[in-house]
A and B are shown apart, each in its own frame.
Chain A
Amino acid sequence: MSVKLNTRQVGDVNVIDVAGRITLGEGSSALRDTIREMVGKGQKKILLNLGEVSYIDSSGIGELVSGFTTVTNQGGQLRLLNLTKRVKDLLQITKLYTVFDVHEDEAAAIRAFV
Chain B
Amino acid sequence: MFARFSMLAVVAVLASGCANTSPVLGSKNINYGDTKAVETVTNEFGSTDLQMIAESMTRSLAQSGVLRGRPVVQVYDVKNKTSEYIDTREITTSIKTQLMKTGTARFASDNTDMQSQVDQLKLQNQSGLYKKSTVSKTGNMIAAQYRLEGSISSIVKRSADYKDVFYKFSLQLIDVESGVAEWMDEKEIRKTTER
A binds B: no
